Amino acid sequence: MMRIKLQACKCLLALSFCLLFGAGHVYAQTVDEVADRLKAYTDSTRAHSRIKLTYLEIDQESAIKLFDKEASFGMFRDNYFITGAPTNKRITKQNADVKFQISIRQRLTKSVLPFNTFLMLTYTQKSFWDMYDSSAPFRDNNFNPGLMLAKPIISDNKLKGMAYMALEHESNGKGGEESRSWNYLVFSGAHFLNARISVQAKFWAGWLSSDNKDLYNYRGIGILAFNYRTLDERFVLSAVLNPRKQVWKVNTQLEMSYKVTPKSNQYIFLQWFQGYAENLLEYNQYSSMVRIGICIKPKLHNLY
């Protein structure tokens, strides 16, 4: 009976954490004015086509001014708190878990650098919490700070996407046999196919520690991500494909998000991951996990 009560308390705590994490509005959104202009533009073209929508029309100077005016501090990647269980084995309190991600960025400059680029500090933390186990330990925490150059891509007075180049570090902050870390360069670009669909390609190359010198075998050298959003941003679908050393073997992450209310930025968030290297500690162990919870998203597009 005590064990049942303890598990019930932990489940209630997890749900409370989800609600607390998703509460309130996030005011420091990425490029709010560009996103608002994009929404107004797509609303005006809604009657012309249900699928093939044109780009946001904006000249280079106006786009740079809007990006310069955005808040210096804001979200970088998705921020979420989700809980779930494996799909490839019997569910127990040892393999059900909580996963959460916190991702922020701080812009250090306006568009005064060469090629009208912006310099930003970024930080993403992804944690895996065995909340349902007896002592509720954190299984792994992955810390990912970076220094990034970002540039909006304007062509023919249309916003076509974003380009990024970054120097990043990732580690799990542990010592001894459980230590995992690497330093790497990132080249990434996001292309807006239209008002609903975007594609991101990301490649990395770096220096691995002796504790995970075969990481590339399990995480490969890049990802390809696809995102679909409805015009009102109520519904978002994402797919992230990460080829491993043998490119026909792919780590896959599928996500589905539904906005709770039209004016909020809290989504009910469902994520399925299958493959290797979801976290650094167990990068060479296969996992298949389905989790659900709350997500807060940046504007314009998802970034992985």
The first and second tokens of residue 119, run together, are 């310099």
Q: What is the mean pLDDT of residues 180-208?
A: 94
Q: What would the pLDDT profile of 219-256 be if each residue is shown by its tens digit?
A: 999 999 999 999 888 999 999 999 999 889 999 999 99
Q: At what angle do helices 60-69 and 32-45 cross, to 10 degrees?
A: 130
- Higher-confidence residue of 213 and 66: namely 213
Rounded to whole angstroms, the Cα distance separating 304 from 301 reads 10
pLDDT, mean of residues 197-220? 96
pLDDT band at 111 (very low <50, low <70, confident <90, very high): confident
pLDDT-derived band at 16 (thresholds 50, 70, 90) equals: very low
pLDDT at residue 33 greater than cutoff 50: yes
User: What is the mean predicted confidence (pLDDT) over 30-36?
Assistant: 52
Residue 6 has pLDDT above 80, yes or no: no
Q: What is the pLDDT of residue 13?
A: 45
Q: Hey, what domains does the chain have and what are their CATH numbers?
A: 2-296 (2.40.230.10)
Residue pair 108/120 in contact by the 8 Å Cβ criterion: yes
Lowest mean pLDDT among 52-61, 79-88, 193-202, 274-283: 52-61
Answer yes or no: is pLDDT of 10 > 90.
Answer: no
3-state SS, residue 125: strand
Q: How far is CA 100 from the centre of its chain?
A: 11
Provide the pLDDT for residue 68: 80
Of residues 7 and 145, the one with the higher pLDDT is 145
135-189 pLDDT tens trace: 999 999 999 999 999 998 888 777 888 999 999 999 999 999 999 999 999 999 9
The helix (run of H) or strand (run of E) holding residue 33 is helix 32-45
- What's the chain's average pLDDT? 84
* Confidence at 17, pLDDT banded by 50, 70, 90: very low
pLDDT band at 300 (very low <50, low <70, confident <90, very high): low
* Percent of residues, the chain, with pLDDT higher than 70: 80
CA distance 33 to 26: 15
Tens-place pLDDT, residues 34-86: 555 555 544 444 444 444 455 566 677 777 777 788 888 999 999 999 999 99
Rounded mean pLDDT, 95-122: 92
201 alpha carbon, distance to own chain's centre: 13
Radius of gyration of the chain from its Cα atoms, rounded to whole angstroms: 20
Q: Which residue has the higher pLDDT, 36 or 292?
A: 292
CB 193 within 8 A of CB 226: no
The pLDDT value recorded for residue 35 is 54
